[in-house]
Amino acid sequence: MIDRGFVVEPTDGVVAMAKKAEERLGRSVRVMRFDELKAIAAYDAVVASASLLHAPLAGLQDILASIWRALRPKGWHVASFKAGTAEGRDGLGRYYNYPDRASLEQFYREAGVWNVLEVEEYTGGGYDDKQGPWIMITVQKAVRA
């Protein structure tokens, strides 16, 4: 995104991961979890590639509402999640919220008003080298709530 001329504000919720991202990007990366997002109408897009899947399921609704508030009208948000039916840990001990499609769509609908809500289901892998179901969701904030 940076190479294509976008103004990017990179963040990560874990200090060690932010430092690793800084090394790769050659610029500072702010340490911030999604539940700490307080911006209002500040972003044209919020990208959460394989990151919101680590947020506790009980707090996901509030996080999505924060993302909705942080987007400008017609702003875009995209996120990917490992799909499932119950939260839990993978073979490496990493927490995942594992939402199913219907639950995820409901969480987004309750978080704000969207012009677009598109869902793609696919098979993908992770750090545990296991293939499984994934969900990619793309939404566009409505002009009026």
For 80-120, the pLDDT digits (tens) are 999 999 999 988 899 999 999 999 999 999 999 999 999 99
Residues of the chain with pLDDT under 50: none
Distances (CA, A) of 134 to 30, 49, 53, 97, 123: 27, 11, 10, 12, 6
- Tokens representing 126? 């992770």
CATH number of the domain to which 81 belongs:
3.40.50.150
Does residue 23 sit in the same domain as residue 59? no
| Predicted TM-score (pTM) of this structure | 0.92
Domain count of the fold of the chain:
2
Same domain, 134 and 83: yes
Distance of CA 41 to the CA centre of its chain: 17
Q: Are 99 and 109 in contact (CB under 8 A)?
A: no
Q: Give the integer Cα–Cα distance in Å for 33 and 51.
A: 10
Q: Tell me: do 86 and 67 sit in the same domain.
A: yes
41 with 24, same domain: the answer is no
pLDDT number for residue 2: 85
Asked whether residue 102 falls in the same domain as residue 69, the answer is yes
Domain that holds residue 78: 35-141
Is residue 71 within 8 Å of 41, Cβ to Cβ? yes
